[in-house]
Amino acid sequence: MNGRDDGGHGPSQDFPDSPTADEYSNRDHHHDPEELLISDEEYEEQLGSSGISDRVPRSLTFFHGLALVIGLQIGSGIFSAPAAVRTHVPSTGVAMLAWVVGGIMASTGAASFATLGKLVPLNGGMQEYLRFVYFDLFGFLFAWTWIFVSRPLALAMISLVFSGYLSRAIYPEEAGPDWLLKTFAIFAVAVITLLNCIGTRIGTGVGNVFLFLKLLGLGSVPLLGIIAIAFLKEKPAEISQVQLLADLRVLSRDTPGPQNGVLDIWAAFGGFVDAVLAAAFAYNGWESLSFVGGEIKNPEVTLPKILKISMAIVITMFLASNLAIYLTVSAETLRDSDAPALEFGKKILGRAGVLFYTWVVCICALGSLNSIVFSTSRLTQAAGERNYLPRFLKANAGTFGGTNRWLSWSYLTYAPIRSEGQNLETDNVPRNAMIFNFLLAAVYIMTASFRSLLTFKGLIELTMFFLTVFGLVIFQFLHRQSEHGARFGIETISPIIFSVLASFILMRSAAAHSLEFSLILFGLWFSSIIYYKEYENAA
């Protein structure tokens, strides 16, 4: 921990003090908002003041970033969330509305993160953003939450989806044994981790391959749906002109409410919020680019471009694919199934469709694992740089904080890479962080299940997203003033929209899931105690 005295208010952040509103008023009021960017000189100064000795080379291009974001968003979530979304709402119209709201939150959140990425173009993502808009404690809380809970859970959940679908190819009629599912899951995370340990170029290259296969697989859903509706002589029973109109109703007689037919707004809103959280799980991934912002070439131009294009592609494909699934597979079937993609494939192509979408989902899951391993290792490395975690996690090579290499387990782990002549000291691949993330994920795989963790993971992630984006709202109103008042543009409107939607969802979810929300608050409180005790000891 940083032991510098901060006047009793905790460790001071390493960023220079933000200008006050008065200081801004003395500037040229017609300056472009890009003034708030951190220049290369300021970047070097901040790295030096924070104790980070090496500047991260900017090696990731626009296409690498696009593959990373889309690769993480188009994962197993889009093939598992449609059933959960439809289960929580009374009709296809409400389900599609939930996907639209989820898309709005993802796009406005991505726009907000693009602004923050230009303000703070450093690796570490929300960790650095929260330190910038609040103070050091918030960066610490995020790092611990994401590293110990959110990302390992994501790796575990996605790998379990992968192993579950893979078992359907091996055991068509029944689920495989539990030990086999967990073995497949751990093996999948291990292989993806090893590929990323070889180097950044290998990791991003694998991501590009997965991106092409994922787009092909997901694009086949609306295409086959259109073919089934328009051309097949023997259409699925759910597809008819009457059914199409009925399923697109926003409300139906099945909407929860008292016996007199008056709509119970609170109960209906609760179901809708749960549906949006399920959709948000599928959209997750838009924040991943922020963790590698320090490696993006020309970030002030590239970051917004990547996020805008990726969100347009993902939202369009998600809406089209979900509409095809909802108009092809009955609501009753979706309520009883954890694999809507398989039900869709079976309805359209029979057994061949089941096998096809089994492999599509497996490929998508592997692509998501690759994106998570790549981005989370950078966050873990950045947390090690800030002394939030043991210092060995910031090391590129396999040396545990100076431990004898020949006795270092990680050195033995990297021996195959070293034999190929790779320079582990200078290639900036955070291998120690990757191994650490893998071990945490393996623990969750052995002890957790997919459905039991979905709501908890969604709540804790949305809480951190809200704190980050709302901090940007506060920062913009305090520091982006002119003689005519605050500037309202897309960079201001997007975080406001996200903050309003997220606050409503969090309030309703906290009421419906009080136990999970209480655990989150307790975890944040406990982490704060650790932070301040560590600071006091260091002081």
Residue whose entry in the numeric block shows the structure tokens 């932070």: 531
Could you tell me which residue, 399 or 230, shows the higher pLDDT?
Answer: 230
pLDDT at 37 over 70: no
Length of the chain: 539
pLDDT of residue 386: 75
- Assigned domain for 400 exists: no
pLDDT at 130 over 70: yes
The helix or strand, by DSSP H or E, that contains position 481, with its residue range, turns out to be: strand 481-482
- CB proximity list for 48: less than 8 A, separation 6 or greater: none
pLDDT of residue 220: 87
Residue ranges making up the domain that contains 270: 21-395+430-538
* DSSP 8-state secondary structure symbol assigned to residue 148: I
Here the CATH number for the domain that contains residue 334 is 1.20.1740.10
pLDDT of residue 318: 92
pLDDT of residue 296: 74
- Amino acid in the structure at residue 353: G
The tally of domains found in the chain comes to 1
Q: How far apart are CA 145 and CA 430, in angstroms?
A: 19
pLDDT at 138 over 80: yes
Half-sphere exposure (CA, 13 Å, Cβ side) for 537? 7
Could you tell me which residue, 374 or 137, shows the higher pLDDT?
Answer: 137
Could you tell me which residue, 358 or 398, shows the higher pLDDT?
Answer: 358
Range scoring the smallest mean pLDDT among 204-208, 258-262, 467-471: 258-262
- Assigned domain for 413 exists: no
- Assigned domain for 529 exists: yes
- Assigned domain for 416 exists: no
- Assigned domain for 420 exists: no
pLDDT at 419 over 60: no
**Residue range 166-203, pLDDT digits in tens:** 887 777 666 667 888 889 999 999 998 888 887 655 55
pLDDT of residue 327: 84
- Assigned domain for 417 exists: no
Could you tell me which residue, 104 or 390, shows the higher pLDDT?
Answer: 104
How many other CB atoms are there within 10 angstroms of residue 274's CB atom?
Answer: 24
DSSP string, 214-274: HHHHHHHHHHHHHHHHHT-SS--TT-SHHHHHHHT-SS-TTS---TT----HHHHHHHHHH
pLDDT of residue 349: 84
Q: How far apart are CA 55 and CA 73, in angstroms?
A: 29
Residue whose entry in the numeric block shows the structure tokens 């994922």: 214
pLDDT of residue 319: 93
- Assigned domain for 237 exists: yes
pLDDT at 16 over 50: no
Q: At 382, is the pLDDT very low, low, confident or very high (cuts 50, 70, 90)?
A: confident
pLDDT of residue 456: 80
- Assigned domain for 289 exists: yes
